[in-house]
Structure 1
């Protein structure tokens, strides 16, 4: 079991990567067909991941349980990202990150109806407040080109796939090295990407993408597909699913700030009000966890 400080550093790194990844995705599709950007991401990531396994002398098991775990993990990669990439036509990077703030709610609902986990009244209230915040954001669609109902729908599907993957991987409980789990999930995602190729062959890149698009693609490969997945599966094995989902509460505002500073994403006041309401709903949802964490920190300090 990794130390608490090790898990905290892993958690912080994952928050940063996931806050910056939406912008990298938006930049990567600026000079590439959006599905080719996704497919190339896995085509490039797979050999690098395999090389890392060889370098670290980590075995990649292919027994029945391991294969099941890779399939479950791929749902948070290709399964979730196919909807995220499709949403780049309709949403800014900040809104994409904001939508991932719904992951805790999705995880809570999946836990409640799929695994009979109990939800408190305050959690239900938090969900309702967050949905109101999402509604306010959707109403701003006419004011800003960065918000569109189709994009919101695609991102809800993406978040559902991501949240379901957390529970699926934990329920399989394959006890695989995090890097092996990440590589196996990338392998399964690459097979899925191959199935997409015939449908997008007419859009195959005929030139080298511009520098911004190329660097962004490399970032999604090295940081989002490799390092982030290593951190993600390490945390999946060592912390609760709802606690892991809390990373997506921290990323939206940082992602919106990065989008505004680096990509000139000007969002309306309505979007910011909606975002504030949504995040307040998430705060209510996690209030018990925040309170428990503070009490634990006081006990450790004492």
Structure 2
């Protein structure tokens, strides 16, 4: 499953596991970081800080940053999973818990399948996959019915699904461009594009500029999203895009919600009762059913 050519590789598994763990912790870090700072200012600080670190790493490892047309297009495509997807996640952070954000994002493989089936026409969905999708949707209904009135608002759900579309578009677009870039060059270029795009938001949110240092939780959230979510995860992500099928990368979202829900419960007091956990299991089983034929 992890290897595109059928052989098992410890390197692939280790990088895949690292990406899953970082992505599982990222929703909690986002919720913490926006607790006392306006979400879009958090986004700007994250990508400006991460792009500076990425450029330093690029210089240390003496990697080039190609500026030909194909490379520039690939940077823009990669930024759809950064400023594109994350913009809507940060906006959703005030409407959903970290665990529920991760659970919704776990549906990205299913959305990817629908895009391939109805739009790209490069994927045919069979009965078990449709059944898996139905089960996952029923599971979500159970979860959100249990969470009614508990930091769940429809606008948050809509924002997450817009983020999912951006994330999926990024995977397919980067894969299609197939620029001969190293992971660190691709990550740095995409971070720079994201940082420049985020700066365009300043005239619209200038009045919300932070006026004091936030608390410890917010600072930890900042540090995690800058170093781990934006640098390490992106290096893993762009390396895996070259090595694996898009569907295999999206499969990481089966495990991520469970870990994210546990982290949210332990570190942020986000509680789910037995019926909600039953809904979570339905979502996971539904996604696994979908993957039986991918």
TM range (shorter): over 0.9
Of the three residues 51, 54, 63, the one matched with 2:68 is 63
Aligned pair count reads 288
1:1-302 equivalence runs, <5 A = 4-112=9-117, 113-142=119-148, 144-288=149-293
CA apart distance, 1:231: 0.2
1:38-90 CA-partner distances (Å, limit 9, x unpaired): 11100111111000000000000010000110111000011001110111111
Q: Secondary structure at the match of 2:270?
A: coil
Instruction: Quickly say closer, same or farther: Cα 1:137–1:150, change in 2 above 3 A.
Output: farther
TM-score of the aligned structures, taking structure 2 as reference length = 0.94
Q: Quick check: 1:181–1:233 contact (8 Å CA) kept in 2?
A: yes
Aligned partner of 1:293 in structure 2 is none
Residue segments in structure 1 that go unaligned for 5+ positions in a row? 290-302
* Rounded Cα–Cα distance in structure 1 between residues aligned with 2:292 and 2:152: 29
CA apart distance, 1:148: 2.1
CA apart distance, 1:111: 2.0
Aligned partner of 1:298 in structure 2 is none
* Rounded Cα–Cα distance in structure 2 between residues aligned with 1:57 and 1:237: 21
Superposition misfits of 4+ residues, deviation over 4 angstroms: none
Residue segments in structure 2 that go unaligned for 5+ positions in a row? none
Q: Secondary structure at the match of 1:60?
A: coil
TM-score of the aligned structures, taking structure 1 as reference length = 0.91
Greater helix fraction, Structure 1 or Structure 2: 1
